[in-house]
Amino acid sequence: MLDFKVTDFNNGLKLITAPLANTKAVTILFLISVGSRYEEASQNGISHFLEHLFFKGTNKRPTTLDIAKTLDGVGASYNAFTGEEHTGFYVRSASEHFDLALDVLYDLLYNSKFDEAEIEKEKGVIYEEINMYQDMPQSYIVDVAKKLFYGDQSLGRPIVGQKELIKKFQRKDFLTYRDEFYSSSNIVVAVAGGNGHLWQEKISKFFENLPAKKKNLFPKAIEKQEKPATAVFHKKTDQAHMILGFRSIPRIDGRRPILKVLNNLMGENMSSRLFIELREKRGLAYYISSEMADYQDAGVFGAAAGADILRIEETIKVILDEFQKLKTQKVSSEELIRAKENLKGKLYLGLEESFSVADFLATQQLFWEKIEDPEDLIKKYEKITAEDIQKFAQEFFVSKNLNLAIIGPFKEEEKFQKIIERY
Q: What are the residue numbers of the active site?
A: 51
Q: How do beta strands 187-193 and 5-8 pair? A: unpaired
Rounded to an integer, what distance in angstroms lies between the CA atom of residue 263 and that of residue 274? 10
Rounded to an integer, what distance in angstroms lies between the CA atom of residue 40 and that of residue 148? 19
Rounded to an integer, what distance in angstroms lies between the CA atom of residue 27 and that of residue 358? 7
CA 325 to chain centre: 29
Read out DSSP for 61-72? S-SHHHHHHHHH
Judge contact between 274 and 322, C-beta under 8 A: yes
Residue in 130, 151, 133 with CA at minimum distance from that of residue 142 = 133
Neighbours of 135 (CB within 10 A): 10
Rounded to an integer, what distance in angstroms lies between the CA atom of residue 160 and that of residue 407? 19
Rounded to an integer, what distance in angstroms lies between the CA atom of residue 247 and that of residue 184? 34
Determine the straight-line distance between the first and last CA of the chain, rounded to whole angstroms.
45
Eight-state DSSP code of residue 281: I
Judge contact between 258 and 388, C-beta under 8 A: yes
Judge contact between 309 and 235, C-beta under 8 A: no
Rounded to an integer, what distance in angstroms lies between the CA atom of residue 26 and that of residue 111? 23
